[in-house]
Every structure is written in structure tokens, then in C-alpha cells.
A and B are shown apart, each in its own frame.
Chain A
Amino acid sequence: MTMATAATTDFMLPQPYLVQQVVKETADTFTLTLEPSDGTGRNRFQPGQFSMLWVFGVGELPISISGNPADRAQLVYTVRSVGKATHALVSREVGETVGVRGPFGTGWPVEKAEGRDVLVIAGGIGLAPLRPVIYEVLHNREKYGRLVILYGARSPRDLLYRKELTAWARQPETQVLVTVDYGGLSWRGHVGVVTTLFKNARLQPARTLAFACGPEIMMRFVARDLENQGFAPENIYLSMERNMKCAVGFCGHCQYGPHFICKDGPIFPYDRMRPLLEKYEL
């Protein structure tokens, strides 16, 4: 049995992928493009799913897929270098090998958004798991109503995908609002947390599905504010994060209340997450 064949049948066995490109997004965040080393196409993925990426000899990491679901040749990941394993991953050079398991987990329910407006709310690197949703909506524009993208980052130099943000804002029926928590005096955009963008977003809660990803406390405030604006909790989806190891619900590392984030999530409707988000030390 070849390595590639084994990978399709054994979800614990990493499939070798070659690094095709590494793009520096910010001082500590990089986007890696990978292709299967045997030249075959990659596995299908749904927006919001993640892979387990092996840096051989260093460790394995759960990373959300940030590329275009319609691109069947490559897998794209945006990674923030915050520790030994992530640093090793973003330091891979073109042509080097990375092991890939997956994709795993539930995706954003984009099919449920057909015929409705789509609200994307991202904080920091949380824009990466949401970028496939944006690609999907823009690629199938006639299926969806308005697309509203609200993006908050720490400072102007921490903004991801700057060129794409500008390009998305030029698309029909698309509104892109960006804010930073700390603006230097040369910044002429919005300053304030991402929830302060809601008042400028011209939302219609009854006909909108909201997808949010970012630090958990940000999502807690976002979800609460959306509810206050008239969003039904079942129309708000959050991408949760815990320490994932096996990615298939065996090891229990990512247990969150009654859920395994890797298998039951990472995408959950807010009505299932609300009781847990409000608990201390969970």
C-alpha cells in the first residue's frame, strides 16, 4: 500500500505534502500553501474544517484551512508563530515536507445561508478559518444575499489579507468594515473592538446568518450583542478552540463540557455553546 493510499484509509496516518509557497502576512503570521507530494489532488474540505499538520521531529498542530474550497489542488493554512511547533511549521521552506491529516471537524453551515445575508465576524487570526466562507459566497454570489465582513485586529500591522480585504470591499453587495484595538496616530480607519462595528453594518437579523471566529471572550461579547440586535441564537455560529490531539474524538484532550471540539465542532451554533461560554474555568 502506498503512503497516499494509506492516508485515505487511515485517519491517523499523515500524508506527505510539499510546501509550495510561504507568504509572510504580518510579523508573526504566515500563510503556507501545500500540495500532495504524489501529485494527486487533495481531499475535499468544507469551510471551517481543520487539518492536523505534522512537522516531523517537532510535533503536530491543529490548523484551520484558510484556502479556497474550489481549489482542488492545494491546501492553504495561515499560522501564527507563537511556540516551538508553530515556529517550526512557518519556518518550512519551499519543497520541504509537512505531514497532513484530515480534514477534520464540522464546517460552517454555508448551505443554510443560501438565500440569506451572510455576516462574517472575525477577530485576529480568526479571519483565517472564515476566509473559505468568503471565497464560497463570492464564488457563488447568486446564491447569497449581502455579505458583511467585520474584522478586528490588535493594530494596523496585525491585519491579515490586506489586499484581499480591499478587493472584497469592491465586490457587489459586499460590505467590509475593519477596526483595530490600538491605532497609531497615522491610522485613519476605525479604532475600537469589533463589536463597535455593528452600528455601521446595516444588518437585517431576521434574514442573516452570522459566523464568528476569534478569541473566545470576543465571541462571547459578539454573540451577546448579536442577540441584543435581534439575531436568533441558532443563527449565530462560533468556531471553538481547545487543545486538539487525535482530531477524531478518541483522546479527549479537546473535551468541552459534553462536546469534543475536534469531532462535534469546531463549529457550533451559539444556542449550544452559550451555557458553556458563561461557565468559569471550562
Chain B
Amino acid sequence: METLEHIISEHSFFSGLESYYTNLLTGCASNVRFEKGTYIFKEGEEANEFYLIRAGKVALEIFAPQRKPIMLATVGEGEVLGWSWLLPPYQWKVHAHAIETVRAIALDGKCLRTKCEENHDLGYEMLKRFARIMEQRLEATLLQLLDVYAAGK
């Protein structure tokens, strides 16, 4: 049977992370499962965790009054869901909707924030890795905003 530490150390997001740190992370980790159709978190709720998706698909959705909800992106197997746990005010900015049954490792953000404050090397590692994801999402959003496939473009 795979241990949590093994799953975390094998995940691409934590690639190259020293075993000392994966051991620290494991102390904040737990297995979770979300049934298809449920919301993992909703906009405005407190953001106290992030997820390593092991199976299934999550839609990131945003709602605006008098408009249909918009699906911004999907996050699937091997990807990381959620970074709002990392920065104040620790609130989710979007809804995360399990459009397939999702199995994931949840990492407790409160627990991790404490460990990052105590160990800045771990904190820097986490920031670098999440900054890469933020950059990728920002680039993807830029391309979406350009609406490159629209008629006449």
C-alpha cells in the first residue's frame, strides 16, 4: 500500500524536494474523496488547504449576477488545486466543482503556514512551486482573454 509520504514525494509538484521536507508535509496531509457534483470549496469561504489531485476532474467556476456561471479552467489528475491558502486573506476566489469523482491528497494550509514560518527554506520552496503554477495560470488566462479563435482574429 502506498503511504502518504510516498505519494507526496512522487507527485510532480514536489519533484526534487528533499525527503526531510516531504516528511514535514506528510504531517499536514490526508486522503480525501469528493463525489461527482459536489463543491470542494466555494468563493468567499476560508481557504485552509490545497489538493494534489490523484484522480477525477475539478472545474473552477465563477458566478456573476444576471450572467450564466463561467467555467474558467479544469484541473485534473497530477495537478494541484488551490493557492489561496498561501496568502492573506486566505479566502477562495472561485468555486471548485467536482465534475467527476475526485480522489486527492489534502494538505492542511494552516498547518503548512506554521511550518513555513518556522522553516523559511520550506516556505521558499513552497512559494517557488506555487509561483510557477500561478505564472502558468496567468499565461493561460492571458490567452483566454485574447479570445484568439473569435471571428476576424
Contacts and interface: CB of A to CB of B under 8 A. Distances in A.
A7 B139 CA distance: 48
A221 B79 contact: no
Interface in B55-99: 57, 59, 61, 68-74, 76-79, 99
Interface in A183-204: 183-185, 187-193, 195-196, 199-200
Contacts of B70: 182
Interface stretch (A59-67, A110-118, A212-220): A212-220
Contacts of B76: 190, 200
Contact of A221 (B77, B100, B143, B147): B143
B20 interface: no
Contacts of A181: 143-144, 147, 149
Nearest to A125: B149
A173 interface: no
A191 B148 contact: no
A154 B144 CA distance: 9
Give the interface size class of chain A.
20 to 34
A123 B144 CA distance: 12
B148 A214 contact: yes
A28 interface: yes
Interface in A150-201: 152-154, 158, 181-185, 187-193, 195-196, 199-200
Interface of A: 28, 80, 82, 123-125, 152-154, 158, 181-185, 187-193, 195-196, 199-200, 214-215, 217-218, 221
Interface of B: 57, 59, 61, 68-74, 76-79, 99-100, 136, 139-140, 143-144, 146-153
